[in-house]
Structure 1
Amino acid sequence: MLDIYCNASGQRVNHNKSSIFFSKGTQQLVRDNIKNTLNAQNESLSDRYLGMPTDVGQSKMGTFRYLRDRVWEKVK
């Protein structure tokens, strides 16, 4: 699927900048197979992507409180 997208768009995947994130219950064998297939060896999750949190979790208010506070400071 990535190859089809790359061929259609002219864009390329930068494997040095790419990473992959799995849920907690993903078996190691499945992780390894997917990483090998996608050639994505970096397994991590950034705290933020495009300024927004990547892992929201149960507490949405706690996760987005910083955003509310930043907007409120600008409004004041």
Structure 2
Amino acid sequence: MLNIYCNASGQRINHDKSSIFFSKGCPQERRVNIKNTLNVHNESLSDRYLGMPTDVGQSKMGTLKYLRDRVWEKVR
């Protein structure tokens, strides 16, 4: 699927910058298989992507508070 997208768009995947995140319930064997299939070996979750928190989780209040504070900072 990713190769089809790359061929159609002309974009390429930078495997050095790519990472993948799994939920805590994902079995190790499945993680290894997926990472090998996608050729993505960096398993991590960064705190932010394009300035927004990447992990919202169950409590959305922290994420929304962060966003509200940033908006108010710009408005003032």
Q: Please report the TM-score for the alignment, with normalisation by the length of structure 1.
A: 0.90
Over 4 Å off, 4+ runs: none
Q: Secondary structure at the match of 2:67?
A: helix
Distance 2:75 2:8 in 1: 44
**Identity rate, percent:** 83
Q: Structure 1, residues 9-68: CA drift from partner, whole Å, max 9, x if none?
A: 111000000000111100000000000010000000111111111110121112221221
Alignment of 1:30-69 (within 5 A): 30-69=30-69
SS in 2 for 1:36: helix
Task: Please identify, of 38-47 and 66-75, the stretch whose mean Cα deviation from structure 2 is larger.
Answer: 66-75
Aligned residues: 76
Uncovered stretches (5+) of structure 1, i.e. residues with no partner: none
Tell me which moved more, 59-68 or 13-22.
59-68
